[in-house]
C-alpha cells in the first residue's frame, strides 16, 4: 500500500509539472478528493513552497478525475520515469522546457505530427526510425532544416 502511495504521489509530481502561479494553496481550499489524495501532506502542507502546493493541488485534481485505467497508465509512466538515469531526466526536462517555449501553433504542429506517427503501423514506424538512424549527422540536420522550411498546412476553417 505504501508503495502505491509513493507511486501516486510521484505521478502527481510528474503530472503536475506545469508552471505554478506564485500563490500558495490553503489546505482548506482543497476539495475533499484533493485532500484525500494528498492526506500524507496534511500536517506539513503549510511548510511546502507555494509552487509545490500549486503543483500538488493541480496533480491531485487531475488524479481525482482519472479513470482507474488512466491512473494505472500514469503509475506506469512514473515507474518508467524513476528508472531513467539523472542525465536522461535532465535531457527530457530540457526538451519539455524548449517545447513549452515554442509558439502555440508550432506546439500543435508537433502534436499533430506525433499523432500521425503514432497512427502508422509498427512496421512503417520502424522503417522511419531505421532510415533516420542510418543518416549521417549532416543528413539529419539537412532533413530538420528542410522540414522547418516546409510550408505549413492551413487550418480548414480558413484562418
Cell reading at 148: 522547418
* Segments in 16-83 forming alpha helices (H): 32-37, 50-64, 68-83
pLDDT value of residue 148: 77
The burial of 37, by beta-carbon neighbours within 10 Å (0-12 exposed, 13-18 middle, 19 or more buried), is given as buried
What average pLDDT does range 111-126 have in this prediction?
94
Decide if pLDDT at 20 tops 50: no
Taking alpha carbons only, the member of 32, 33, 38, 35 closest to residue 5 is 38
pLDDT digits (tens, 9 = 90+) for 25-64: 999 999 998 999 899 999 999 999 999 999 999 999 999 8
How far, in Å, CA of 38 to CA of 32, rounded? Answer: 10
pLDDT value of residue 15: 46
Q: To the nearest whole percent, how much of the chain has pLDDT over 90? A: 67
Decide if pLDDT at 95 tops 80: yes
pLDDT grade for 123, boundaries at 50, 70 and 90:
very high
pLDDT value of residue 27: 93
The pTM assigned to this predicted structure is 0.54
How far, in Å, CA of 51 to CA of 46, rounded? Answer: 12
Amino acid at each position: 500500500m505504501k508503495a502505491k502511495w509513493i507511486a501516486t504521489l510521484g505521478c502527481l509530481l510528474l503530472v503536475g509539472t506545469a508552471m505554478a502561479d506564485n500563490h500558495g494553496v490553503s489546505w482548506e481550499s482543497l476539495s475533499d478528493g484533493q485532500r484525500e489524495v494528498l492526506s500524507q501532506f496534511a500536517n506539513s502542507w503549510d511548510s511546502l513552497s507555494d509552487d509545490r502546493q500549486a503543483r500538488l493541488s493541480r496533480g491531485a485534481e487531475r488524479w481525482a478525475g482519472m479513470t482507474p485505467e488512466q491512473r494505472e497508465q500514469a503509475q506506469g509512466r512514473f515507474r518508467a520515469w524513476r528508472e531513467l538515469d539523472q542525465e536522461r531526466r535532465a535531457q527530457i526536462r530540457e526538451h519539455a522546457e524548449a517545447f513549452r517555449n515554442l509558439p502555440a501553433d508550432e506546439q500543435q504542429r508537433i502534436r499533430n505530427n506525433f499523432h500521425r506517427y503514432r497512427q502508422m503501423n509498427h512496421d512503417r514506424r520502424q522503417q522511419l526510425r531505421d532510415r533516420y538512424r542510418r543518416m549521417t549527422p549532416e543528413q539529419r540536420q539537412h532533413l530538420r532544416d528542410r522540414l522547418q522550411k516546409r510550408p505549413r498546412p492551413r487550418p480548414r476553417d480558413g484562418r
